[in-house]
Chain A
Amino acid sequence: EVQLVETGGGLVQPGRSLKLSCVASGFTFNNYWMSWTRQAPGKGLEWVASITNSGGSTYYPDSVKGRFTISRDNAQNTLYLQMNSLRSEDTATYYCTRVRYYYVMDAWGQGASVTVSS
C-alpha cells in the first residue's frame, strides 16, 4: 500500500522558516517524481513544487520561487520542502504527492498544517 506521511507543520512567525518532511513507503520511491501541493483554509488547491526522480531538476510557481526549495533523499525515501521568508498567505495544509505520467498526482499524504502568524 502506498503511504505518504508528512511531518514538520506548525505555527511560525512571518519571515521565519519551516521544513516539511514526507516519508514514502509501499512503492519504489526513486522511480517517481514527487510534488507538494497546498490548500489554504476553505480554498482550492495550488501546486507548490515538483522534483524529478533523481532530484536533478525542480520546478516551482512564481508564488514560491526563490523562497521554497524541494529536495529528496532517495536512500531514506523522504521528500522535503524547505520554506523560507514565510508569509501569511503561505498558511495552508501542505500535501506530499506522488507523480506519474509527468503531471498526475496519484497518491496524496494526509497533509501537514502550516500557519504563518505573529
Chain B
Amino acid sequence: DIQMTQSPASLSASLGETISIECRASEDIYSNLAWYQQKSGKSPQLLIYAANRLQDGVPSRFSGSGSGTQYSLKISGMQPEDEGDYFCLQGSKFPWTFGGGTKLELK
C-alpha cells in the first residue's frame, strides 16, 4: 500500500498568514493527489485535485503543487473560515490512502 505522510499534524496561523501543508507519498503517485478540508462536525469538501487543479467554487487563495512523491497545499492569506482539518488523498493505486491530517487553527 502507498503510505501518505502528512505534516505538520497541527498548525496555528495568524490572519493573513501564508501557510503550507505537505504530503509525502511512499512511492511516485504521478500527481494523482487531492486535498480536502473538513470543518468541525461537517463532511469533507474537495479543494484541489490532480495535485494543482482548483475545484470549482474554492477560493483562489488555495493552491496545490508538487510531483512524484512530494506535494503541498498552500493557503495564501489565512482567513477565519479556513480553520479545520485538512487531508490529502492519493488515488494512484488501490487501496486509495489518506494522509493523517493537519489541524489548522487561527492564532
Chain A interfacial positions (CB closer than 8 Å to B): 44-47, 50, 59-62, 95, 101-111
Query: With A and B bound together, what is the CA distance between A107 and B90 in angstroms?
Result: 17
Please give the number of chain B residues whose Cβ is less than 8 angstroms from any Cβ of chain A in the complex: 24
Q: Which residues of A contact B7 (CB under 8 A)?
A: none
Q: Does B59 contact A (CB under 8 A)?
A: no
Contact A108 B49 (CB under 8 A): no
Q: Does B66 contact A (CB under 8 A)?
A: no
- B45, B49, B94, B101: the one contacting A44 at CB < 8 Å is B101
Contact A103 B89 (CB under 8 A): yes
Contact A103 B43 (CB under 8 A): no
Q: Write the nearest CB–CB distance from B49 to chain A, whole angstroms.
A: 4
Contact B46 A105 (CB under 8 A): yes
Q: Which residue of B lies closest to A109 (CB)?
A: B43
Query: With A and B bound together, what is the CA distance between A50 and B36 in angstroms?
Result: 18
Q: List 18 A-B contacts (CB under 8 A).
A: A44-B98, A44-B100, A44-B101, A45-B44, A45-B87, A45-B98, A47-B89, A47-B95, A50-B96, A62-B95, A95-B43, A103-B32, A105-B36, A105-B89, A106-B55, A108-B44, A108-B45, A110-B43
Known contacts A101-B49, A103-B32, A103-B34: A108-B98 contact under CB 8 Å: no
Q: Does B65 contact A (CB under 8 A)?
A: no
Q: Write the nearest CB–CB distance from A108 to chain B, whole angstroms.
A: 4
Q: Does B84 contact A (CB under 8 A)?
A: no
Q: Which residue of A lies closest to B42 (CB)?
A: A110
Q: Which residue of A lies closest to B33 (CB)?
A: A103
Q: Which residues of B contact A45 (CB under 8 A)?
A: 36, 44, 87, 89, 98, 101
